[in-house]
Amino acid sequence: MEQATSSIIGRPRTSARLGAYGLCLVLLAATGCGPVRGAGNGDDTLTIGAYSVVRDAFHEKILPGFAAHWKQKTGRLVRFEESYNASGAQSRAIVSGFDADVAVLSLDGDVNRLVKEGLVDKDWKSGPGRGLITRSIVVIGVRPGNPAKIEDWDDLARPGVGVLYPDPKTSGGAKWNINAIYGAGLLHDPKTPDPTAARDLLSRVQANVVNMDSSGRQSMATFERGTGDAIVTYENELLLQDKRKGIAAPYVIPSATLQIEGPAAIVETSVKKHGNRAVAAAFLDYLRTEEAQRILTDYGFRPLDSRLDPPGRRPLPPRLFTMKELGGWTKINKEVYDPGGVWDSLFTRSKGRAQ
């Protein structure tokens, strides 16, 4: 868990390093949250369960922006209870009892886990934007000056190159990263997908992976501390480092890479219990407005509408593919991550060699 925060905009109260479910219990004890949140004091309360990568954009700009919008529309204040974690861990925390009203996760599978548990409506993708709120692309972060001379995926497999990406057992971002490598091999010839080439490329890169943290944000922190020559990550993570430090975080856009699509959904069981579905639905609508999309773009994401891209944004690669072109999440999870799948077998084999 990276950070948990409870705040009325302008008056933050932060508790670091709390588990997502633990956060829920602490806040219930501290605030006495009942079935209708904010009842009697003119305030509304919205609990956000999000993956770690959106934390900065949400806490600093998106939530204050929505609070102003909601105040103007309804005359009411909105209080946020925020939890940020690796996407898979966040999804499992919600299943285990963390009362998030809105789930903002890294991939469809983590939302579909909530659907299977009866927490999210099965038609969550039928609305605007197919349930998506952000886009990005998978890129390769390199050291200043790119001393390892990394230009594409094959370069990550060269002898002596140390590679970082997070663990797909906990991080949705890791699956996007691995899928980008696997897909680049699979779709080398778009007319004839080649599973052997995909396995070969992923195998050679995985052999050079020197560290797998539990989340994309933690993986970036490890890279910044000097581990490895390259990090496979979201483009927006590197642009955020640039924004934070004012120093360019160099990266390479591979010639073929994967478009990242970030979903969000209302947790129906929570909003029904809390009586705050209206504010949760308004928040999801706000995330797709031009105002919110421009904020997300300022934090490095690519907007749902490409016309909102800022001047100077680096062009997309010659080959940008989607999960649909790879056969969808169900197919890839079975083919790559399930027991006996490509990545699972490669990782198990590499662990065996290390022991």
- The Cβ of residue 76 has, within 10 Å, a number of other Cβ atoms equal to 14
Question: For residue 129, what pLDDT is reported?
Answer: 83
Q: Any idea what the Cα angle at residue 123 is, between residues 295 and 28, rounded to 5°? A: 65
- pLDDT level of residue 209 (50, 70, 90 thresholds): very high
Quote the crossing angle between the two packed helices 342-354 and 195-206, to the nearest 10°: 30
Q: Which two tokens stand for residue 352?
A: 């065996």
Decide the pairing of beta strands 163-164 and 230-234. Answer: parallel
Q: Which two tokens stand for residue 76?
A: 């009411």
Average pLDDT over residues 66-72: 97
Given phi > 0 = left and psi -120 to 50 = alpha, else beta, which region is 32?
A: left
pLDDT tens digits, one per residue of 110-126: 999 999 999 999 999 98
Residue 88, phi then psi, degrees to nearest 5 = -65, -40
- Please say if the pLDDT value at position 181 is more than 80: yes
Contacts of 207 (CB under 8 A, 6+ apart): 157, 350
Contacts of 76 (CB under 8 A, 6+ apart): 38, 42, 43, 44, 70
With residue 272 as reference, give the H or E element that holds it: helix 268-274
The answer to whether 94 and 114 are in contact (CB under 8 A) is: yes
Comparing 96-105, 209-218, 283-292, 313-322, the range with the smallest average pLDDT is 209-218
Question: For residue 52, what pLDDT is reported?
Answer: 87
Question: For residue 127, what pLDDT is reported?
Answer: 77
Q: Any idea what the Cα angle at residue 321 is, between residues 258 and 169, rounded to 5°? A: 40
- Please say if the pLDDT value at position 355 is more than 90: no
Of residues 278, 269, 262, 281, the one with CA closest to residue 323: 262
Distance CA 310, CA 302 (A): 9
- Please say if the pLDDT value at position 69 is more than 80: yes
The answer to whether 94 and 49 are in contact (CB under 8 A) is: yes
* Between 162 and 242, the higher pLDDT residue: 162
Distance CA 180, CA 276 (A): 38
Question: For residue 244, what pLDDT is reported?
Answer: 80
- Please list the residues that pair with 16 across neighbouring strands: 3
The answer to whether the predicted template modeling score (pTM) of the entire model surpasses 0.75 is yes
311-321 burial, b at 16+ Cβ within 10 Å, e below that, comes to eeeeeebeeeb
- Please say if the pLDDT value at position 27 is more than 80: no
- Please say if the pLDDT value at position 128 is more than 90: no
Average pLDDT over residues 66-83: 96
Quote the crossing angle between the two packed helices 290-298 and 277-287, to the nearest 10°: 60
Average pLDDT over residues 251-276: 97
Question: For residue 242, what pLDDT is reported?
Answer: 81
Compute CA distances 263 → 107, 114, 174, 329, 352, whole Å: 6, 13, 16, 13, 36
- Please say if the pLDDT value at position 150 is more than 90: yes
Amino acid letter, residue 27: L
Question: For residue 247, what pLDDT is reported?
Answer: 75
- Please say if the pLDDT value at position 314 is more than 70: yes
Tell me 330's DSSP state.
H
% of the chain surpassing 90 pLDDT: 68
Q: Which two tokens stand for residue 19?
A: 């588990």
- Please say if the pLDDT value at position 140 is more than 80: yes
Residue that is written with structure tokens 């299977």 in the block:
116
* Between 242 and 342, the higher pLDDT residue: 342
Of residues 298, 299, 303, the one with CA closest to residue 134: 303
Average pLDDT over residues 237-266: 91
Question: For residue 23, what pLDDT is reported?
Answer: 44
* Between 275 and 172, the higher pLDDT residue: 275
Residue that is written with structure tokens 């997309």 in the block:
316
pLDDT tens digits, one per residue of 82-111: 999 988 899 999 999 999 999 999 989 899
Question: For residue 354, what pLDDT is reported?
Answer: 45
Q: What dihedral angle (degrees, nearest 10) is formed by the CA atoms of 100, 102, 106, 111?
A: 80
pLDDT tens digits, one per residue of 32-50: 333 345 444 578 999 999 9
Average pLDDT over residues 256-277: 97
**Mean of all residue pLDDT scores within the chain:** 86
